[in-house]
Structure 1
């Protein structure tokens, strides 16, 4: 059921997102603290505003009400993925080429679970990183999460 609801949200939100030139980033349907949440994450080139989220929320909520795919109460949210969102799409990877990243591994890499590296290249299966002055190639399956490194 979970996957089906996520697929439905994707299908009904895409025409709305395309109309306003927003990017579909992700959808999440999960239970937190006894309450179900359906979340749609969107983005655009110069960033998402609260007004953008409200616009999409109202339009997608109307569609959700029409088709009523969920038979229990839930909270629907539309949100920006944030500046430190994990790299998931080809666009995410392109945007972060030659930038500092935080890379977390499932198993340790050179004795560490997390490293800071620069994304040099990527394809469907691997990433090429600059780490400690050397170029390394890492299988994407070994990476738990990779996101922009935020420095203050």
Structure 2
């Protein structure tokens, strides 16, 4: 059910974000304790930063649209925010923008004996990424990626 909800919310949110000049990064719909949360992560297009006013504006407009269409049964809490420093990487454009940055990637099945990689994304082309981890490079096909995000290096 949560996949159906996120797909429906995406269709409702995209025109709002396009009108605001913002980008949809991710949508989560999950239960935590007694409450259901609908989290919509947004960012500026071309990596432009967003602020609290952007989040408030989108939250208000999205809340009105969701109330009108009523695609989610039951009560939920809507949160609209920035993806933060550890932004998830989902679309090919996300990976292209992350070239040269530190990433953390997990895979569904081992790639060269590993399922977790943390290093610099050095290349992305034709659905394959190259992650440079210490002294070794890994070629990881996008279809094997379970999760990927930017990684903070201390």
Bucket of the pairwise TM-score, normalised by the shorter protein: 0.7 to 0.9
Q: After the TM superposition, which residues 76-95 of structure 1 pair with which residues of structure 2 at under 5 Å, given as runs?
A: 76-95=78-97
Alpha-carbon offset, residue 34 of structure 1? 1.4
| Shift in CA distance, 103/67, structure 1 to aligned 2, threshold 3 Å | closer
State the TM-score, normalized to the length of structure 1: 0.85
The aligned length equals 152
Cα 1:46–1:6 change in 2 (3 A) is: same
Which is worse superposed, 50-59 or 126-135? 126-135
Distance in 2 between the 1:135 and 1:151 partners?
A: 18
User: 1:51 — aligned with what?
Assistant: 53
Whole-angstrom distance in 2 between the partners of 1:3 and 1:137: 29
Q: How does 1:3-152 map to 2 (within 5 A)?
A: 3-44=3-44, 45-106=47-108, 113-123=115-125, 125-152=127-154
Partner Cα separation in structure 2 for residue 100 and residue 9 of structure 1: 30
Distance between the aligned counterparts of 2:109 and 2:5, measured in 1?
Answer: 32
**1:105 CA displacement:** 4.0
Structure 1, unmatched stretches of 5+, are none
